[in-house]
């Protein structure tokens, strides 16, 4: 004699599984601090920060401004995957002040005390945007100079994926509110640059389950013509990026002091550019400030 199973049992079991899934999802969401705003940063040497940090930049960092170490920082006693007060350098040991420094300081000083700000910085000096393309990074890296290969190796050979994994780790603590890019010197006058940036941005949104309207992209201009910037002509292409990415916003570098190499900003230039990144993001997010971006 065959035993007939009651269909009601299956319905109850199905409902239990659905509820378990919802509870698990809610538990994950509740673990996130909605008041911890995280911003991803990537690019080449100016987003790394030119080596050297001035004494005035080593103090006065609000404890609400944090950096996720994406590599180990032995001299700074930072371990990969952990959050620390955002005292420069923020990218890797040996890098310097960068736009993310005064971006974060500006954000923290203009947001309510309950809001914390975190940055995740994965940048590679001298690299073309192709290094962050999943279809191109291997061939690009294989032909890179030895010094650049060392940086790439610090990111397990794949800077884009390293950024994604770090971002996923960050998402366990807070919510990603935007993406900062400073790159283009190595792609100067490259007409395909906007399309390549859009593809990388779209992949980040997809891989991290973000919505474009909730994750604006801020892109800074290179050292400008007013500073005799060697790659200033690229700023016209950067300026057109919002035509390709509606949620992209350009941060002006006009008046931001450049170094004698005409490629990198001075510490004061980084402070000014980073502050503009912060004011622009605050404006986009609807937070009023007395200053203008």
User: Residue 292's pLDDT is what?
Assistant: 53
- Is residue 4 a part of any domain in this protein? no
- Is residue 289 a part of any domain in this protein? no
Are 45 and 126 a contacting pair, CB within 8 Å?
Answer: yes
Question: Is residue 224 predicted with pLDDT exceeding 60?
Answer: yes
Considering its fold, how many domains does the chain have in total? 1
pLDDT tens digits, one per residue of 256-282: 999 999 999 999 999 999 999 999 999
pLDDT tens digits, one per residue of 10-68: 454 444 443 444 444 444 444 789 999 999 999 999 999 999 899 999 999 999 999 99
pLDDT tens digits, one per residue of 111-159: 999 999 999 999 999 999 999 999 999 999 999 999 999 999 999 999 9
User: Residue 288's pLDDT is what?
Assistant: 66
Q: How confident is the model at residue 6 (pLDDT cuts 50, 70, 90)?
A: low
Q: How confident is the model at residue 1 (pLDDT cuts 50, 70, 90)?
A: very low
Lowest mean pLDDT among 107-111, 218-222, 289-293: 289-293
- 92 vs 175: CA distance, rounded Å: 23
CB atoms within 10 A of CB 286: 6
End-to-end CA distance of the chain: 80
User: Residue 214's pLDDT is what?
Assistant: 98
User: Residue 291's pLDDT is what?
Assistant: 59
Q: How confident is the model at residue 287 (pLDDT cuts 50, 70, 90)?
A: confident
**22 or 235, which is more confident:** 235
- Is residue 243 a part of any domain in this protein? yes
Please state the φ and ψ torsions of residue 207, each to the nearest 5 degrees. Answer: -70, -25
- Is residue 26 a part of any domain in this protein? no
Question: Is residue 169 predicted with pLDDT exceeding 80?
Answer: yes
Selecting among 62, 72, 261, 283, the annotated active-site residue is: 261
- Is residue 41 a part of any domain in this protein? yes
Name the one residue in this structure whose structure tokens are 């500073």.
227
User: Residue 31's pLDDT is what?
Assistant: 72
Q: Which residues contact 194 (CB under 8 A, 6 or more apart)?
A: 237, 240, 241, 243, 244, 245
Residue 33 appears among annotated catalytic residues: no
Selecting among 45, 123, 215, 253, the annotated active-site residue is: 45
CATH number, domain at 134?
A: 3.40.50.1110
Structural domain containing residue 96: 35-284
Residue 264 appears among annotated catalytic residues: yes
User: Residue 2's pLDDT is what?
Assistant: 45
- Is residue 230 a part of any domain in this protein? yes
- Is residue 29 a part of any domain in this protein? no
- Is residue 189 a part of any domain in this protein? yes
pLDDT tens digits, one per residue of 174-214: 999 999 999 999 999 999 999 999 999 999 999 999 999 99
Residue 215 appears among annotated catalytic residues: no
């Amino acid at each position: 004699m065959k035993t007939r199973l009651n269909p009601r049992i299956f319905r109850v079991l199905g409902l239990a599984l659905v509820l378990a899934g919802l509870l698990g999802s809610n538990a994950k969401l509740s673990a996130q601090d909605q008041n911890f705003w995280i911003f991803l940063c990537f690019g080449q040497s100016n987003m790394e920060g030119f080596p050297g940090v001035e004494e005035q930049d080593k103090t006065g960092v609000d404890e609400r401004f944090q950096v996720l170490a994406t590599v180990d920082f032995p001299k700074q006693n930072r371990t990969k995957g952990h959050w620390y007060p955002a005292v420069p350098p923020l990218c890797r040991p040996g890098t310097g002040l960068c736009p993310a420094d005064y971006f974060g300081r500006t954000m923290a000083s203009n947001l309510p005390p309950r809001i914390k700000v975190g940055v995740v910085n994965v940048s590679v000096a001298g690299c073309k945007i192709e290094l962050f393309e999943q279809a191109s990074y291997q061939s690009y890296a294989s032909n890179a100079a030895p010094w650049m290969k060392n940086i790439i190796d610090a990111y397990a050979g794949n800077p884009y994926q390293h950024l994604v994994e770090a971002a996923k780790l960050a998402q366990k603590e807070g919510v990603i509110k935007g993406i900062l890019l400073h790159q283009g010197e190595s792609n100067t006058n490259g007409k395909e640059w906007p399309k390549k940036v859009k593809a990388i941005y779209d992949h980040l949104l997809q891989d991290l389950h973000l919505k474009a309207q909730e994750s604006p992209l801020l892109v800074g201009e290179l050292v400008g013509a007013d500073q005799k910037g060697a790659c200033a002509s690229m700023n016209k292409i950067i300026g057109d990026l919002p035509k390709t990415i509606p949620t992209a916003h350009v941060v002006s570098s006009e008046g931001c002091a450049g170094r004698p190499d005409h490629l990198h900003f001075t510490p004061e230039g980084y402070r000014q550019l980073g502050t503009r990144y912060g004011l622009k993001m605050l404006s986009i997010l609807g937070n009023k400030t007395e200053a203008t971006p």
